[in-house]
Structure 1
Amino acid sequence: MQPNECVSFLVISDGKILLEKRSELREVDPGTINIPGGHIENDETQSQALYRELSEELGIVPITYHFLCSLYHPTSELQLIHYYVVTSWEGEAQPFEAEDISWYSLAEAPVGINVDKVALSEFKRVSGSLGIAL
């Protein structure tokens, strides 16, 4: 089975992470609180998808970002999610595609899917090497 590639973004500011609450009507992971992201479109690079998805999902443009890791997420489709950490951006984040967005402390971020929990754990492990203080 060929995985569908996606990008997800840990938007980080002052020791907090921006998470989304997915609509109950979504086919994949309905109603969960998770790290925002979306599918990479045909002939699109990960970086291009990151810019497009940040704009579509939150209405922001990344200024500083770092690749974090890639993880598989088996849902109704097999997804390969490429996680990025976004530490500076232009614009004010708004929930364009999610039911709601909220800031959470990194220590208590209530992510609802296992793959996001692994990505968040990896971020905490390597944040110092990325030059990000927790």
Structure 2
Amino acid sequence: MSARVHDCVGAFLVRGGRVLLGRRTADRELLAGAWDVFGGHVEAGESELDALTRELDEEVGIRPIRLRRLQTIEGAQPAPWRLHLYVVTDWQGEPCNRQPDEHDELRWCELDEAVRCLGAAHPAFERLLGEALAAAGA
């Protein structure tokens, strides 16, 4: 029997040629201490867009206005997962850390720093970060 795939959504929040990333707290069960995009699990009966809107509100207090779907990436560790990635270039609200138990730092990163932070997580992140910044006119 195959393991259930964890469907997740995530967003590159892009402004002024930089992308906002969050560092997961050291006590998180998954990806402790790793830099990450904002998002989370798609709940039963929820669309990708509904999940993304909910997660961005919960984590950083924004509501996406202008966004575009980039790509879905997949992995098998620590359990099978699928991440539907979006770029958000306009939103309501000002991003702030609404879940300090999940992220201990938020940082606006230029492309090279974002690639250093996320590049090891998946080989597609470098290309997708470039696409996200290009979509915002960076």
TM (normalized to structure 1)? Answer: 0.88
The residue that corresponds to 1:17 in the other structure is 19
The residue that corresponds to 1:4 in the other structure is 6
Identity of aligned residues (%): 29
Letter paired with 1:100: E
The residue that corresponds to 2:113 in the other structure is 108
The residue that corresponds to 1:133 in the other structure is 137
Contact 2:14 2:88 in 1 (8 A): yes
Please state how far the C-alpha of 1:106 moved relative to its aligned partner.
Answer: 1.6
One of 48, 69, 72 as aligned partner of 2:71? 69
CA distance in 1, matches of 2:18, 2:133: 13
Letter paired with 1:23: T
4+ aligned runs moved over 6 Å, structure 1: none
Please state how far the C-alpha of 1:127 moved relative to its aligned partner.
Answer: 5.5
Contact 1:23 1:99 in 2 (8 A): yes
Contact 1:28 1:75 in 2 (8 A): no
Please state how far the C-alpha of 1:108 moved relative to its aligned partner.
Answer: 2.2
For residues 13-61 of structure 1, the C-alpha deviation after alignment (integer angstroms, 9 at most, x for no partner) is 1110000010001111100112122000010000000100000111100
Contact 2:62 2:91 in 1 (8 A): yes
Q: Secondary structure at the match of 1:114?
A: coil
User: Which structure 2 residues correspond to residues 14-93 of structure 1 after superposition, within 5 A?
Assistant: 14-93=16-95
Letter paired with 2:104: E
Structure 2: state its 5+ residue gaps: none
TM (normalized to structure 2)? Answer: 0.86
Contact 2:19 2:133 in 1 (8 A): no
Please state how far the C-alpha of 1:65 moved relative to its aligned partner.
Answer: 0.4
CA distance in 1, matches of 2:28, 2:132: 32
The residue that corresponds to 1:122 in the other structure is 128
Letter paired with 2:63: V
After TM superposition, the structure 1 stretch with the greater mean CA deviation from structure 2, 99-108 or 86-95, is 99-108
Aligned residues between the structures: 131
User: What's the Cα RMSD here?
Assistant: 1.7
